[in-house]
Chain A
């Protein structure tokens, strides 16, 4: 149980480092794109790379947002119905979330393997590379949700 939470925190730490790198890269790539265009030598790859980096921000950033509990939402009506019902709702929602990310991870992995034959238009890399972000992020979310579930259960027992 403790191990799961340690893993979840460790992964999130690494993902936040990666997000920082992606954010800085996008700024520099776009700045370079403008400079090179007015210097008369447009970059052919910058738009595609930054688009794929945006997809990475969405899904990897989504895992960090989940971990920091900064997803936008309401407080929910559960807190008015007493602690037992609230705990029940929390667990039910966590299980649903777990199923959602599990499904995305599974289909994402299947499709990522399949997309190996398709290549991107500018860089000519296999589309598996940008698509891989989705199953990886979904898998990380599965770990985070599992860590949350153990925490909720641990809180209820004593």
Chain B
């Protein structure tokens, strides 16, 4: 009853246009203080104290510190010429195939994903350069924007990944293992997207053909070697256990600063305060959701929702694979209509308890959940990658959504492979952490 009211108010407030963080916090805090929700023996001041403690505990975490830091690293890389170098290198590597620039965009997004943890940052950094170039080469604006958005969604699958940090924080699953688990899936997504882009470009004659030039490849490799080195250092540092995820995020900031300011000389000192401030505020919008959601999920947990859901699932008596498919379908729908972080935070505490019944490893489930939400970033009405990309390209949401459809379908295929072939997510973690 209370839980139904909680979710009902949440969706109502979001529909009325209240920001998500407040739409989560308002019903949760409001209902906690409503007489009758808790027994009269619990005094209101005690509940007030609980609210404040929950808000604090929701974000009092060393792991979550990685969120603003990975955002800052991405912002510095974008401003400091690193994304341009990655695109040049990718273009000389794969630009000779049909739809070459579209492929190059996805390869560059994958490299960028190796240091940035956010799909929106990935989309913005690559899209700002690639979309105008693709339009100049004769690609339709909607298609260019869709390819960039798809590449951007890989940003949260290939580590580092902010949603994986949040999943690990909420479930105590090792964030480093989640990162290791995301690598092969991320590459599979990239290859899938490239195949679709090549096929469509070849069929419809999009883009210009250029010949492969070893000399250009060598030149762009020399220029991009520091940019390509960034993922090696960040991921290598985390997976070898030299630094924690959060420390790696801080190192990523300094590495990006070194490349942008000392080597490329494209980032000026006076630009730095703006970047720091912007990334702090962007991070705060996510962290604020996390803090508010802590109160919300606490109230949901107090009302024994997980047990209820467990009983309900047992009553369905689905086989493990059926339950897994059902959960994935629910996640996809939620990912379409809700913002990623909010969806993750509200669903993880409830769904992670079902992993034994689904017959999946918690690491695999974490990666699956992040993939699902990544697909959600590509689907209207609430897809952050689509939003960022269509703003850059100047096309409407409808146009980009139609162009993105084949890419979304290929993402479904990759998602199903990840669901039913565990080595895709678990093989690399098992190699690194035997």
Contact surface of A with B, Cβ cutoff 8 Å: 16, 19-20, 22-24, 26-27, 30-31, 33-34, 47, 50-52, 54-55, 57-62, 64-65, 68, 70-78, 89, 93, 96-97, 100, 103-104, 106-108, 110-111, 114, 130-131, 134
Contacts and interface: CB of A to CB of B under 8 A. Distances in A.
Per CB-CB distance, the 9 closest pairs between chain A and chain B, nearest first, are A76-B17, A61-B284, A107-B48, A71-B19, A30-B250, A73-B19, A58-B287, A62-B288, A23-B276
Interface of B: 13-23, 25-26, 29-30, 33, 45, 48-49, 51-53, 55-56, 59-62, 64-65, 68-69, 72, 243, 246-247, 249-251, 253-254, 273, 276-277, 279-285, 287-291, 339, 342, 382
24 contacts: A23-B68, A23-B72, A27-B250, A27-B253, A30-B65, A34-B251, A50-B62, A51-B60, A54-B60, A64-B277, A65-B284, A70-B282, A72-B21, A74-B14, A74-B15, A74-B382, A76-B15, A76-B16, A76-B17, A78-B16, A100-B25, A107-B51, A111-B49, A131-B56
B282 A100 contact: no
B18 A97 contact: yes
Q: Which of B14, B250, B382 has the most C-beta atoms of chain A within 10 angstroms of its own C-beta?
A: B250
A71 B17 contact: no
B296 to A, nearest CB: 13
B52 A131 contact: yes
B351 to A, nearest CB: 22
B15 A107 contact: no
A97 B30 CA distance: 11
Given A31-B254, A59-B291, A76-B17, 14 more contacts: A16-B277, A20-B273, A23-B276, A27-B250, A50-B65, A54-B60, A61-B280, A62-B285, A74-B15, A76-B15, A89-B17, A93-B17, A104-B51, A110-B49
Contact of A73 (B18, B48, B287): B18
B52 A111 contact: yes
B284 A134 contact: no
A55 B60 contact: yes
A96 B17 CA distance: 13
Contacts of A19: 277, 280-281
Contacts of B59: 54-55, 58
A31 B251 contact: yes
A110 B282 CA distance: 29
Contacts of A68: 281
A57 B18 contact: no
A37 B79 CA distance: 31
A72 B290 CA distance: 13
B254 A134 contact: no
A73 B17 contact: yes
Q: Which of B13, B52, B253, B288 has the most C-beta atoms of chain A within 10 angstroms of its own C-beta?
A: B52
Contacts of B290: 58
A31 B254 CA distance: 8
Contacts of B253: 27
A68 B247 CA distance: 30
A51 B15 contact: no
A100 B32 CA distance: 12
Nearest to B384: A72
Given A26-B65, A70-B282, A73-B23, A111 B48 contact: yes
Contacts of B61: 51, 54
Contacts of B13: 93
Nearest to B47: A107
